[in-house]
Amino acid sequence: MKETVLVINPGSTSTKIGLFDRKGMLKVENIDHAGTPISQIASIAEQLPLRIEIINSTFKSWLDDCRLMAVIGRGGLIKPLQGGVYKITPGMIEDAIGCKYASHASNMGAPIAAQIACDYQVPAFVIDPVTVDEMIPEARLSGLPEIERYSRLHALNIRACVRKATMQLGRPASEVNFVVAHLGGGISVAAVRGGKLIDCNNALLGMGPFSPERAGALPLEGLLNLAYSGQYSKTELKCKLTKKSGLVAYLGTNDAREVCRRILTGDKNAELVYRAMIYQVSKEIGAMATVLNGKVDRIIVTGGLARGAETVEMIRAKVEFIAPLMVFPGENELEAMAEGGWRALDGLEKILIYENV
């Protein structure tokens, strides 16, 4: 029987699942939760049984001629930790379901994977969760002792792209430096030295470029005025800054393809807003190059927006004086999780243990 791993990536309105053997994807399904009871439930804990039931009913037929070896869940907002493959533990599940560090749909990845793995008596892992934190000490200081900078980024795809780049260059990760820009609904720009993500913007809330949905870094006086305007509660303002800002605030859509279509029809406002986003991305790439003392072997551009040739060329025009570009389009999260699972199962990467505090 063919050996396989199941990967699970929960989102706010859907759950992506895939079945992989060592050569690549065998099956994939994007389960849409819009209009279902799940869409009416805010609590992560209350959603879990329904999501597990739907996932089980979807993938069981996939295993007719396959042997399941492991289940890998998307790593959510758990405690800060170094990158790698982590065995899902009761402590991780407790932190994820309890939203100890923050609430996000990806927090369901670990508990869903653990339950399905238990049913099949196979191991369960998460790979490079969004809270991977390998920042150098000077990157943590914000300018105010009460506020520490910390790492929240698209670590899963960024580390997968670094592995691809080192293979293409034929050099070990310990010998190369990269600046990686992941361009999706959120935008992460990271400085990578010796395989470690030593600095980055907080891609969820508070730093870096604006994105299709997020505000990025804002002028402080304006943000204070907004916070004390009486128009928003803290929860409402947080939602505005993380889900209703960027392209969607300026142009009414978070779809970069739609924005580019408007630009082609002569929409000058759409062109200005999109160029401003790429301008900010390019500035952040330049900033991360200084973290590496200008010694950048390649600039890696990845994520969904990297599928747009014009977007890539706009970035190239501003930053290629720093280093040549390598482009890996797409978010590639399912593939990256599967690859990490196989590395763990085949003994190519040490399995780390999550301990909650």
Give residue 330's Cα distance to chain centre: 11
Q: Is 324 helix (H, G, I), strand (E, B) or coil?
A: coil
Contacts of residue 267, Cβ cutoff 8 Å, sequence gap at least 6 = none
Q: What are the pLDDT digits (tens) for 291-349? A: 999 999 999 999 999 999 999 999 999 999 999 999 999 999 999 999 999 999 999 99
Compute the Cα dihedral for 322, 323, 329, 333 and give only its sign.
negative
pTM: 0.94
**What average pLDDT does the segment 192-199 reach?**
97
Is the pLDDT at 356 greater than 80? The verdict is no
Is the pLDDT at 206 greater than 80? The verdict is no
Q: How far apart are CA 51 and CA 38, in angstroms?
A: 8
pLDDT at 288: 98
Q: What are the pLDDT digits (tens) for 69-85? A: 999 999 999 999 999 99
Percent of the chain whose predicted confidence (pLDDT) is above 70: 100
The DSSP output letter for 350 is P
Q: Which part of the chain is CATH 3.30.420.40?
A: 2-134+333-353, 155-329
Q: Which is nearest to 44 in space by CA: 55, 34, 52, 32?
A: 52
Residue 158, φ and ψ in degrees, nearest 5: -60, -45
How is residue 182 written in tokens?
Answer: 């992941």
Angle between helices 268-291 and 309-319 (to 10 degrees): 50
**What average pLDDT does the segment 154-177 reach?**
97
Task: Count CA atoms closer than 13 A to 272's CA, side-chain side.
Answer: 5
User: What is the Rg, in whole angstroms, of the alpha carbon atoms belonging to the chain?
Assistant: 20
The Cα-based distances of 126 to 92, 150, 239, 350 in angstroms read 10, 20, 27, 13
Fold assignment, 155-329: Nucleotidyltransferase; domain 5 (3.30.420)
Class assignment of domain 2-134+333-353? alpha beta
Please report which confidence band the pLDDT of residue 40 belongs to, taking 50, 70 and 90 as the band edges: confident
How is residue 200 written in tokens?
Answer: 């980055």
Alpha helices in the chain (DSSP H): 44-59, 90-97, 109-120, 155-169, 220-227, 234-243, 247-251, 256-264, 268-291, 309-319, 333-345
Q: How far apart are CA 113 and CA 25, in angstroms?
A: 18
Q: Which is nearest to 31 in space by CA: 89, 142, 149, 112?
A: 112
How is residue 317 written in tokens?
Answer: 């025009």
Give residue 214's Cα distance to chain centre: 14
Q: Which amino acid is at 206?
A: G
